[in-house]
Structure formats: structure tokens, C-alpha cells
Amino acid sequence: MGRAVTVATCALNQWALDFEGNLERIVRSIAVARSKGARYRLGPELEIWPVLHRNVRYNCRVIFLNKKILLIRPKIALANAGNYRELRWFTPWSKARHVEEYFLPRIIQEVTGQETVPFGDAVLATKDTCLGAEMCEELWTPNSPHIDMGLDGVEIFTNSSGSHHVLRKAHTRVDLVNSATAKNGGIYIFANQKGCDGDRLYYDGCAMISMNGETVAQGSQFSLDDVEVLVATLDLEDVRSYRAEISSRNLAASKANPYPRVKVNFALSCPDDVAVPTCMPIQWRYHSPEEEISLGPACWLWDYLRRSKQAGFLLPLSGGIDSSATACIVYSMCHQVCLAVKNGNADVLADARRIVHDETYIPEDPREFCKRVFTTCYMASENSSQDTCNRAKLLAEQIGSYHINLNIDVAVKAVVGIFSMVTGRTPRFSVYGGSSRESLALQNVQARIRMVLAYLFAQLTLWARGMPGGLLVLGSTNVDESLRGYLTKYDCSSADINPIGGISKTDLKNFIQYCIENFQLTALRSIMSAPPTAELEPLVDGQVAQTDEADMGMTYAELSIYGKLRKIAKAGPYSMFCKLINMWKEICTPREVASKVKHFFRMYSVNRHKMTTLTPSYHAENYSPDDNRFDLRPFLYNTTWSWQFRCIDKQVSKLEKKEGISPVEDVD
């Protein structure tokens, strides 16, 4: 009897509504799978569009063989949290182990010669094995379908997925796939979407095949290849012998409720396959978080650039960590493009030639390609230091970007002059005797003028250089600053897209160190050692007096903790205080913790309105404050938090009384 089965899984860079392109990628992946000897090929979620059954729209897998549809399997568990709102578009199939007749549309009938096909929760019984289907979210649910399917004798589980990238998420996904067959035995085939599907998410491939709890084939996580096909040959007898040794599994299987089986007159194996070599377990190779930052956002930027039909990017480069990290991601993108072309990727070469408007061009040197597609701009003011100017210039030289130096003082004075002419009053910075309102307004004018100039130069820089096209403006606000609201509304945080908007300051610092070591960008050393500053207030003796953490009243490390507790742990002011008095008991008194928590929630709530206009950012953290789809909360809060803060004060008093500390006034 046949025992060796060769199966294929895919990672495809599909794009919503790109019907012709999506079809071409599907057909190409089928051809590759067949050429590698696969008898079964799996693609990502929604590679074939939704199905309307009895006027209800379902997210479905359509399984077919030789122009005949075998089964339409609707999704049972829909993703409806975080970035996903599947219930807006689809209805989950709620009839377990139930199959109905589906009447095919006439246009499909003409192709398949079928009038009706099975629709529902069923499995496929071939001549040599049994296959069952899961879809994306169903792997992540507590009672995944593969559990009951495995007990009912299903040996091969297939999962068409649309799973997005988050830093450090790959471990969880791989563990879920391997654990699906660790206790129950079987073969698990996982396919995934890859690339930017026109929104804030990057789908990171990682197609994989696992057997009996161990990975046997690993696909790439980050790649510019639109089509990736992973093939493995496995021995069905290994599944059967593995299951035979698990007594508890067999006892449960003897009582399992059976699935409807769709009989398929086809075998995945061949009769004479004794000499066919099979795949052995491998160790999954994980990227470090720094590598993930270098590769994921870079691939996302490439997809956005080529699909938007623009000629490159423009970045206001301040000489600080955030904008420098953004520049390094663009430089990494250029590396990936040159590497893909070197490896024979014709799609990337065609896209690169179209972007630079040169049909004979071949990108070979990342710095040279960067010069063509990346413009950086240092926008100095009277409050800027020579140090940041030099840092920006040196980094631009090392990555190869087309660099512009300009001064915004004329524009700032013109805008402030209009205000003075109308009101008869001239605002001053605090160091010159002005109020905090005056100082903040003057800082905001500088920041907003930089945004206006960024878009002006993005539209006309290439025109001035005699080149066609326009540039996409890149933002460079990190996730912690967005959470705190430490940004000017409609300043350089307002851009077309932001590759670091979902990444913490701590991770960005580690990424900068990675770039120093791996890209030999020595200019980053001085950027790393300099304290982060907005440079919007007057210099003192020619030196920067303003720093970000002093302005915010909290450190970036603290902000990351606040963000995770607020979003992931769902903690309000009092809950956060209760958690932090234990987390920080070695470094802060309860009264100090209370003061920090109160200050964070005041600033977070006062500035929440800024999230409504936040630039679309690469989603990389699960505590992102993105208001568009991920973190749906009010943007008008009662910023006094009176009841919550009183509860904190009472708890502080109780704790101090217990420690014998004399009571003092309520915490600020």
C-alpha cells in the first residue's frame, strides 16, 4: 500500500481586489507545486473569494480536484478582536458536523459540470488517508477543530491562514502548529498570506509543515518573493504508529462523534513508494526582534511603494533615534531589493525599473539604489544644534540617500508675524519670560511647518531634479510617543505611512545597535549616545536643553510597561497601580507609583484625540494605540479620573498606615 505523501503549502502575496494578479499567483503556485511532485497543494485564507450560501456570506475553503469541487468548507470561528472584524463581513458556520447541498452558480457549473456540491463541516476520505480543514483563527481557539477531527481518524490537517506579523509572535504560531499534532499525532500543513494587503498589517508568511509535534519544513518569514511554495514528503505510517502508542488518545477516539466524509477517488501516495525518501524533523530558525524590525517593515514599505506607483520616499531626518531607525529600514529595503534581484526575482527587477523609470536598470548596490528612491531632509531652526545636523548628514551619506539641508526660520517668523500683526501681541518662549502656553504654541508652529515643507518637497523635489514622479512622506513617531501623545498634531508625525509607528523606543534602540553591527553604519553610534530631544525650545549656550523624557515626565521604559498594562492587561488607573506597586516595589514607594500612574493617565487621556489622525503605521506591537481599527476607544475622556484616583489615594494611605508612615496630603 502507498504510504509516502508529497504535499505543498504556499505563502502568496495577495492583494485585495487584484483579481488578475491574485489569479496569476495562485496558478503559478499550483504549477510550482506540481513540478515538485506534490499531490496536494494548500493556499492562504481567502485566496478564493467568499461564498454566498442561502443568502448568507461565509468565508470558505473551496477544495477541488481536476476541475471538480469536492467540498466547500465554511469557516467556523471568526477573528473578531484586535485588527480583525470578520463579523462585519461574514457569518460563522454554526452547524457542527453538518453538510448541506450547495447549488453552484451557472458560470461555475459550466466549468465543473456539477450542479450541486457538499457545503459544511466535513472531511475528505481519499483512497489512502483522511484530510480535514481548519482556517486561520480556528487554530487559535481553545477547542480547535483539529482535536475532534484527529480523534475521528483525520491524518492530515490543513490550515489556510491570514496571520499578520507582530514582534516575537512567530514562536507562538509555530508552537500552536506543532502542538496540534503533538498529543494527537498527524500531519499539519500551514499556509499563510504574505506582504502588505493594502493596510497597516504585514502578513509574514512562515508557511510550514509539521508531523507528530515536530517541524519538518519551514518557509521564509520575510521575503520579496510574491510566490513561495514549500513541499515535503511524509510517511503516513509514522502518523499511525505514533497514534497507536498513545493510549489516552485511543480511548478518546473510540468515543468520538464521526464527521461526514466526502469520498474522493484519488490517492495522495503511490503504490510503489518504498524507496521514496521522506523528510526529517528540523529546528525552526527564529529571527531576533532586531532582524524582524529590519526585514518586516522593509518588505511592507516595498509593497506599499510598488503598489502605490510612486517614485520613492521622503523622510524628515532629524538626527534622532526614531527618524534614523526609519532611514535604516528604508536602507534595509534597498538591501532586500538588491538581494532579490541577485537571486533572479524577475518581479522585483520589473518593479524596481518602473519605480526609477529606467527599463535597463539593475539594482546591485543598496546605496546606489537608495540614492534613486530615498530623499532625506534635515529641517533646521534656530533651536537646532549643529550636532543633530551633522548626525543626519553623516547617516545620509552612509546609506546613500539624496540629502537636503534647509532652514525653516523664515517660515516660522512669517507665521508668528501674522499672529502678532492681528493680535498686537508676540508670544515668547518660557526661557524668555513667556508662559507655558506661549512656549508650547511656538514649538507647535515649528513642528507643523516641517510637515507642510515635507509634503511640498515630496511633491516637487523630483520635478526640480528633472525626474518624473512624486515621493511618499514617511513618519517616524514610535508607539510609546503615540501612547503618551508626545507629538504635535499635524507635525512630521503626520505622513503617508510610518514603518516604526508600532515599535517601542526600547526595541528601536536595539535595532539601531543591530544596524551598526550588520550594516556598518557608524554614524548611528553618536545618534545612540545622544539623549532624545525634539529641539523645539531655544538652545542654552549653543547646547540642547530640552529632552524628551524630561518633557514627558516619564521614561520610555516606563511607557512600554504602561502600554502593555493598559491594552494587553486591560488595566485602568487603579488596576495598573495595584500591579505596579508589586512590579516596582524595589525602586518606588506606593506614593511614587501612584504619582506616576496618575500622570500617565492624565497625559494619555488629554492627548487621546491625536490618535484619530495618526499616520497609518506598521502594526508590530499588541499595545498599539492605533484608533483606526486596533484600539477602538473614546477620544474624549473625563481627564480628572476622579473616582479612580480617589481609590488609588485610599489604597496609598492604607499601605502607608500599615508601614507606619505618617499620612500626608493626597497624591498629585
> Smallest Cα–Cα separation from 401: which of 392, 410, 414, 409?
392
**Residue 133, SS3?**
strand
> Smallest Cα–Cα separation from 298: which of 161, 202, 373?
202
As a whole number of angstroms, the distance between CA 122 and CA 668 comes to 62
Bridge partners of 57? 52
Angle of helix 321-342 versus helix 366-373 axis, rounded to 10: 120
Average confidence (pLDDT) per 10 residues, the chain, 668 residues: 89 94 97 97 91 97 96 97 93 98 97 98 97 97 97 98 96 96 97 93 97 98 97 97 95 96 95 87 97 98 97 97 97 98 98 98 98 97 92 98 97 97 95 93 95 97 97 96 91 94 95 97 95 80 76 91 95 97 95 96 95 93 87 92 97 92 65
pLDDT of amino acid 220:
97
* Residue 303 CB neighbours (<10 A): 21
pLDDT of amino acid 492:
86
As a whole number of angstroms, the distance between CA 12 and CA 206 comes to 11
- Residue 476: which residues within 8 A CB-CB, separation 6 or more? 315, 316, 318, 322, 323, 325, 326, 492, 493, 498, 500
pLDDT of amino acid 653:
95
- Residue 350: which residues within 8 A CB-CB, separation 6 or more? none
- Run of H or E including 130: strand 130-135
> Smallest Cα–Cα separation from 133: which of 71, 65, 221?
71
* Residue 397 CB neighbours (<10 A): 12
Residues annotated as catalytic (active site), given as ranges: 45, 75, 136, 318
